[in-house]
């Protein structure tokens, strides 16, 4: 029997790769993605996002709501709303991978321990949020599925020893400050209007 990977079209692989670039290490082997068999009716589609859907395990979601006071809609907002949340960085989550990951049949039909990943986000107040997830490819439509495992706020001090992560956090916070500066935005808008009146850059 042919593997799911072997029957993916060029366009399907390209779409999966785009999602991998967003959520995984760019060097990760596509063949090591697990096969998703979730009921399609339980997958969440997001406006203007065509390359993937999102899956929430009902028990895990209840645990997130009870323990961390975050709802499904709030988590989706964190993941997709770049006005309210800036991406800090993404890392392979080897802690969860070792402690509670499961063996999955991958799209090349080989059984492997599933990789876990996490993305860090910050908001206008500098709060840091960690989203842990996996990425699979659905057998029914060959589309990527982002499986949210958990989501929780963390103290900034936790990442201070990771120079890359902490530096990315500082840059994201500074970006919020720049975009929230009304005088700066007014000046930029005036410069844009002046440039438009003058016919744009020559």
Residue-level pLDDT at 193: 59
90: which 2 tokens?
A: 């993404």
pTM of the model: 0.86
Measured CA to CA in angstroms, residue 198 lies from 129, 146, 189, 191, 201 at distances of 44, 47, 14, 11, 8
| Confidence (pLDDT) at 180 | 66
pLDDT at 125 over 50: yes
Cβ–Cβ < 8 Å for 148, 38 = no
Q: Do 121 and 23 touch, CB atoms closer than 8 A?
A: no
pLDDT band, very low/low/confident/very high, at 182 (cuts 50, 70, 90): low
pLDDT at 101 over 70: yes
């Amino acid at each position: 029997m042919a593997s799911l990977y072997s029957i993916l079209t060029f366009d399907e692989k390209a779409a999966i790769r785009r999602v991998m670039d967003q959520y995984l290490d760019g060097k990760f082997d596509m063949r090591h993605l697990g096969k998703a068999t979730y009921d399609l009716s339980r997958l969440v589609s997001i406006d203007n996002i065509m390359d993937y859907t999102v899956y929430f395990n009902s028990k895990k979601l209840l645990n997130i709501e009870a323990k961390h006071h975050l709802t499904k809609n709030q988590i989706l907002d964190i993941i997709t709303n770049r006005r309210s949340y800036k991406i800090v960085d993404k890392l392979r989550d080897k802690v969860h991978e070792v402690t509670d990951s499961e063996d999955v049949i991958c799209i090349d039909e080989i059984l492997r321990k599933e990789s876990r990943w996490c993305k860090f986000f910050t908001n206008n107040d500098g709060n840091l949020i960690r989203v842990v997830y996996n990425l699979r490819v659905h057998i029914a439509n060959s589309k990527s599925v982002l499986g949210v495992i958990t989501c929780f706020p963390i103290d900034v001090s936790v990442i201070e020893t990771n120079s890359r992560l902490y530096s990315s956090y500082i840059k994201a916070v500074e970006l919020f400050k720049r975009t929230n500066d009304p005088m700066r935005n007014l000046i930029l808008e005036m410069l844009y209007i002046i440039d438009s009146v003058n016919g744009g850059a020559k």
